[in-house]
């Protein structure tokens, strides 16, 4: 299978897309552009849902060190609230996947005491990574989940996280995500998540998103290396250049996603202890290191892509120089031959009108072996030129 017709990088593990779960990249960007355009001039805090948003699915994870319960409450929000109120001694993770039910979103905003501006950020689904603090020391976190798909495109989805006294509430606009590893950890009997506070769960969600940047970056790195190996092998320069420019856009986009994550972690570490306890900040410091490493890799890939573009253009220039070299050698060979042939093509008469011979006007015209002699002279000129070019090293392929 041809390189341009086959995927160069596999989708990272654990992120297999469901049919119809995510729109194509161009459709996704167009939907976000339309959402931004339609929000211009509206009152702050006005809630709007994209028409292509998925129907919400509600999941509840209730646990402590000794007990665990997991259930889906889609279309049963009252039952979910009843479970929360019936077990205040447990820690809860309310996992909302999909937004396309505005009355439900408004009711959740009221039940959990969310600010309309924050809920607007959730439903907008295009916020950069950030952290905000409620009046009662609750947190609102936004992270960007990334994936490098099989069609060589960086996709990102927003993960919105709200913390409460004994719960964490998350929103995302897709049914598939990178959080399954965290759900598996919660299901484990001896998981550290089940022993620690809900603040640690909020950290764990952010940390999983950060950790998932590395498979994305690994796929990007593998693809960059494959492009580099193809530069000197493929003759289809235009298609290869389009691939380089496309991955360059993806790397720049990925860097824009990672950069706010670093700032968010830095801001969390500066929050007072009553908001983020010191025992949780220890873990956020580790997440901050992960964000720095991810940003460094993104910067490195951006430099690699720039070098790859320069390498491609340099290779094309070298190929053009080789073509010009061959054409120049051919021209150099035929220039003296054309001169000799043109010289003997001039119509000077060997005799004047009175019959007197003119010895300086091409006496070779009457020679019986003039034509063979001319061919020998032309061949000798070619041989001497080629010998001269060889001695100068101009015929070498190195």
DSSP 126-176: -PPSEEEE-TTS-EEEEEEEEEE-TTS-EEEEEEEEEE-SSEEEEEES-S-
pTM recorded for the entire structure: 0.70
Q: Which two tokens stand for residue 161?
A: 């996280």
Q: Within this chain, do residues 61 and 123 fall inside the same structural domain, yes or no?
A: yes
What is the span of the domain harbouring residue 387? 347-392
Q: Within this chain, do residues 191 and 49 fall inside the same structural domain, yes or no?
A: yes
Residues in the chain: 398
Which of the four pLDDT bands, split at 50, 70 and 90, describes residue 389? confident
In a domain, 328, yes or no: no
Q: 60: which strand partners? A: 71, 94
| Cβ pair 62, 83 in contact under 8 A | yes
| Cβ pair 3, 234 in contact under 8 A | yes
What is the number of structural domains in the chain? 2
pLDDT attached to residue 71: 93
pLDDT attached to residue 151: 66
Segment 84-98 shows an average pLDDT of 93
In a domain, 27, yes or no: no
pLDDT attached to residue 40: 62
Selection from 66, 62, 70 nearest residue 90 by Cα: 62
Of 273, 294, 315, which residue constitutes the final position of a domain?
Answer: 315
Q: For residue 178, how many other CB atoms are within 10 A of its CB?
A: 22
For the ranges 39-53, 82-96, 185-199, 358-372, the one whose mean pLDDT is highest: 82-96
Q: Which residues of 101-130 are buried (b: 16+ CB within 10 A; e: fewer)?
A: beebbeebbeebebeeebbbbbbbbebbbe
Q: Within this chain, do residues 231 and 364 fall inside the same structural domain, yes or no?
A: no
Q: Is the pLDDT of residue 258 over 60?
A: yes
| Cβ pair 361, 349 in contact under 8 A | yes
CATH number at residue 270: 3.30.460.20
Segment 241-247 shows an average pLDDT of 79
Which of the four pLDDT bands, split at 50, 70 and 90, describes residue 12? very low
Q: Name the more confident of 194 and 189.
A: 194
The 3-state DSSP class for residue 60 equals strand
Q: Within this chain, do residues 283 and 371 fall inside the same structural domain, yes or no?
A: no
pLDDT attached to residue 188: 84
Q: Within this chain, do residues 351 and 267 fall inside the same structural domain, yes or no?
A: no
pLDDT attached to residue 34: 53
148, containing H or E segment: strand 139-148
Of 297, 315, 333, which residue constitutes the final position of a domain?
Answer: 315
In a domain, 280, yes or no: yes
Q: Name the more confident of 150 and 21.
A: 150
- Among 210-214, 263-267, 355-359, the range scoring the smallest mean pLDDT is 355-359
pLDDT attached to residue 35: 52
Q: Is the pLDDT of residue 377 over 70?
A: yes
Q: Which two tokens stand for residue 46?
A: 């006005």
2, containing H or E segment: none
Q: Within this chain, do residues 367 and 285 fall inside the same structural domain, yes or no?
A: no
Name 101's Cβ contacts closer than 8 Å, sequence gap at least 6: 49, 55, 56
In a domain, 325, yes or no: no
In a domain, 210, yes or no: yes
Q: Which two tokens stand for residue 111?
A: 């039940």
In a domain, 182, yes or no: yes
In a domain, 290, yes or no: yes
Q: Within this chain, do residues 242 and 374 fall inside the same structural domain, yes or no?
A: no
d(CA 128, CA 42): 20
Which of the four pLDDT bands, split at 50, 70 and 90, describes residue 84? very high
Q: Within this chain, do residues 132 and 74 fall inside the same structural domain, yes or no?
A: yes
Q: Which two tokens stand for residue 136?
A: 């009662």
Q: Within this chain, do residues 180 and 300 fall inside the same structural domain, yes or no?
A: yes
Question: Taking all residues of the chain, what is their mean pLDDT, rounded to a whole number?
Answer: 81
- On the CB side of 107, CA atoms within 13 Å amount to 10
Using one digit for the tens of pLDDT, what is the confidence trace for 206-230? 999 998 888 888 888 888 888 877 7
pLDDT attached to residue 156: 82
Q: Measuring CA to CA, how many Å separate 107 from each of 58, 117, 172, 234?
A: 14, 15, 17, 58
Q: Which two tokens stand for residue 41?
A: 């001039």
Segment 291-305 shows an average pLDDT of 84
In a domain, 162, yes or no: yes
């Amino acid at each position: 299978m041809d390189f341009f017709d086959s995927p160069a990088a596999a989708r990272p593990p654990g992120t297999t897309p469901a049919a119809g779960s995510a729109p194509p990249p161009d459709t996704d960007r167009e939907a976000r552009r339309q959402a931004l355009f339609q929000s211009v001039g509206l009152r702050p805090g006005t809630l709007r849902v994209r028409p292509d948003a998925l129907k919400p699915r509600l999941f509840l994870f209730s646990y402590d060190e000794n007990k665990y319960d997991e259930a889906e409450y889609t279309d049963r929000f009252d039952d979910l609230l009843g479970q929360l109120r019936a077990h205040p001694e447990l820690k809860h993770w309310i996992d909302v996947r999909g937004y396309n039910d505005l009355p439900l979103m408004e009711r959740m905003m009221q039940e959990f005491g969310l600010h309309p501006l924050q809920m607007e950020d959730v439903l907008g689904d295009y916020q950069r990574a950030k952290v905000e603090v409620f009046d009662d020391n609750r947190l609102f976190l936004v992270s960007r989940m990334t994936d490098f798909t099989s069609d060589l495109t960086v996709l990102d989805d927003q993960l919105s996280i709200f913390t409460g006294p004994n719960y964490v509430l998350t929103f995302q606009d897709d049914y598939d995500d990178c959080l399954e590893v965290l759900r598996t950890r919660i299901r484990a009997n001896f998981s550290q998540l089940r022993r620690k506070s809900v603040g640690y769960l909020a950290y764990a969600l952010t940390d999983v998103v950060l950790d998932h940047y590395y498979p994305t970056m690994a796929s990007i790195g593998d693809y960059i290396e494959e492009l580099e190996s193809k530069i000197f092998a493929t003759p289809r320069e235009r298609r290869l250049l389009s691939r380089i420019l496309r991955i360059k856009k993806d790397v720049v986009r990925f860097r824009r996603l990672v950069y706010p994550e670093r700032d968010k972690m830095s801001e969390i570490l500066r929050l007072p202890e009553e908001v983020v306890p010191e025992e949780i900040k220890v873990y956020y410091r580790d997440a901050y290191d992960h964000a720095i490493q991810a940003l460094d890799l993104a910067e490195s890939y951006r430099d690699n892509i720039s070098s790859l573009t320069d390498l491609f253009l340099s290779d094309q220039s070298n190929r053009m120089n080789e073509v010009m070299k061959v054409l120049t050698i051919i021209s150099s060979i035929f220039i003296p031959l054309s001169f000799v042939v043109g010289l003997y093509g001039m119509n000077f008469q060997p005799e004047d009108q009175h019959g007197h011979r003119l010895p300086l006007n091409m006496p070779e015209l009457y020679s019986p072996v003039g034509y063979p002699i001319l061919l020998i002279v032309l061949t000798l000129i070619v041989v001497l030129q080629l010998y001269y070019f060889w001695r100068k090293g101009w015929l070498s392929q190195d």
